[in-house]
Structure 1
Amino acid sequence: MSSPGDKLGYDGLRLDRTGQAEAFDAIGDRYEEAFPHKEGQIESAEWLIASLPAGSRVLDLGCGTGVPTARQLAEADLRVVGVDLSDTMVALTRKNVPGGEFHCADLADLRPGGPLDLGRFDGVTAFFALLMLPRAEIPPALRTVHHLLVPGGLLALSMVEADVDDFSIPFIGSTIRVSGYLREELREVVETAGFDIVDESSYSYAPAVADVAPEVQIFLRCRRRPDGS
């Protein structure tokens, strides 16, 4: 008998997070100093806020420090639940967004049959969260998001445009591993996971620290299709 994880494509994958959480534990609130401008992220969260009624449940994947997204959602009277792999980031989010519910967990923990059952959501934000996964895990992660959303639920997603897979880079005094796609391939991966892309935008971004290269950020605003479509 197949497991729920097998249906999403997790079975057989070796989930390697070596050094990822530790890097963000070390970075802490210096992340906000390195990335002070988040126009694309703010605009995508505003789209989600405008599209959902007050009281809707929204999951913030890779919630980081909680600024700006979790705080923005909470201030709009949405019920915010956040997940991050870093204990330090979760502690900062709980301080910055005291009205939310935040967990230190892996996105893979949220899959059907996984150790953390948070229920269903009307919206999900995943701003650069998938960037931290090897490419082999990104389709299962998106199918997990599809599972977490109610039919017709909304996903605000961002990635850095790059043709890389689990590639080590210097990052704010630490080292992390990142993956990315070129734009058309990213669209294909998202649509194959069961989402319709209703809008998109991109930004050229230069972080405020020397060891992080300028990047092109892609923002996709998506709607979950019904199961099986």
Structure 2
Amino acid sequence: MPKSPADNVIALYREHAAAFEKNRNQAFIERTWLNQFLDLLPGSRLDVLDIGCGSGAPMARYLIQNGCGVTGVDTSLPLLARARESFPEQRWIAADMRQMPVVGPFHGLLAWHSFFHLSPEDQRPMFATFRRLAAPGAVLMFTSGTRLGEVICQFEGKPLYHGSLDTSEYQELLSANGLAVVRHVEGDATCGGATVWLAKWIGEGCFRARLDT
């Protein structure tokens, strides 16, 4: 039976790592969001888990420059090799985020343009994984879609899968896992149209949100 586009995401980023890295590094439009993420991190020792870290540029690089220790997880061996070459003092792990091998705790968890490559069925249990890996008061930032469903784009002439839950379900999952939404923007025009969630752990069953739409 042929694989679905969701099953081919890992192979695409391995096969076309050079093309991804070239396209990814053309601009750094995420700085404002990363600054907000950094401002919320608790404590003086800032350990961040970068989920879907790629080559480490530009996201992990900026975190490192701002005093964070980074553990990066990705399935693309060529991109991880570049990360290790560029930032040898950090920790880079080849793994699928759905079987996270690290134990934490981390002060920050970042899943920028990576989490949304999972199917809706695979996204739901990830929030419990995020909670397991988080230190008290930790911060989570990720990008998503806005409606339950799947979208297939093109990358190097091949289908590239994206999955999403409804906005309301993301809110419910965050709240159920003790996260308060600090900021949520749908289709941020200043950040390439990304839909971004920035949340902080405050305890079980709590929820507070500021929506910028």
Which of the five TM-score ranges fits, normalised by the shorter chain?
Answer: 0.7 to 0.9
Q: Which runs of 5+ in 1 are unaligned?
A: 1-15, 111-115, 207-214
Q: Residues 158 and 23 of structure 1: is their aligned pair in 2 closer, same or farther, counting only changes over 3 Å?
A: same
User: Percent of aligned positions with the same letter in both sequences?
Assistant: 21
Determine the C-alpha separation between the residues in 2 that align with 1:32 and 1:77: 24
Q: Per-residue deviation at 1:197?
A: 0.3
Match of 2:81 among 88, 91, 94: 91
Match of 2:38 among 42, 49, 55: 49
Q: Residues 228 and 51 of structure 1: is their aligned pair in 2 closer, same or farther, counting only changes over 3 Å?
A: closer
- Write the deviation string for residues 64-93 of structure 1: whole angstroms up to 9, x where unpaired: 121111111111111110101111221122
The answer to whether the aligner puts 1:108 opposite 2:94 as a matched pair is no
Partners of 1:132 and 1:178 within 8 A in 2 = yes
Q: Normalising by the residue count of structure 1, what TM-score does the alignment of the two structures yield?
A: 0.75
Secondary structure of 1:196's match?
strand
Partners of 2:110 and 2:141 within 8 A in 1 = yes
User: 1:222 — aligned with what?
Assistant: 199
Determine the C-alpha separation between the residues in 2 that align with 1:32 and 1:86: 11
The answer to whether the aligner puts 1:19 opposite 2:4 as a matched pair is no
Query: Where does 1:141-220 land on structure 2 (aligned, <5 Å)?
Result: 141-161=126-146, 163-165=148-150, 167-201=151-185, 202-204=187-189, 216-220=193-197
Secondary structure of 2:125's match?
helix
Letter in 2 for 1:102: W
Q: Which runs of 5+ in 2 are unaligned?
A: 207-213
Determine the C-alpha separation between the residues in 2 that align with 1:162 and 1:100: 36
Letter in 2 for 1:224: W
Q: Per-residue deviation at 1:160?
A: 3.8
Secondary structure of 2:55's match?
coil
Letter in 1 for 2:108: G
Partners of 1:79 and 1:100 within 8 A in 2 = yes
Q: Per-residue deviation at 1:205?
A: 7.9
- Write the deviation string for residues 145-170 of structure 1: whole angstroms up to 9, x where unpaired: 111001211111112445423x5432
Letter in 2 for 1:26: E
- Using the TM superposition, name which of 172-181 and 99-108 deviates more: 172-181
Determine the C-alpha separation between the residues in 1 that align with 2:143 and 2:154: 20
Partners of 1:61 and 1:126 within 8 A in 2 = yes
Report the RMSD for the aligned CA atoms in angstroms: 2.6
Q: Residues 145 and 50 of structure 1: is their aligned pair in 2 closer, same or farther, counting only changes over 3 Å?
A: same
Match of 2:71 among 78, 81, 85: 81
Q: Residues 22 and 129 of structure 1: is their aligned pair in 2 closer, same or farther, counting only changes over 3 Å?
A: same
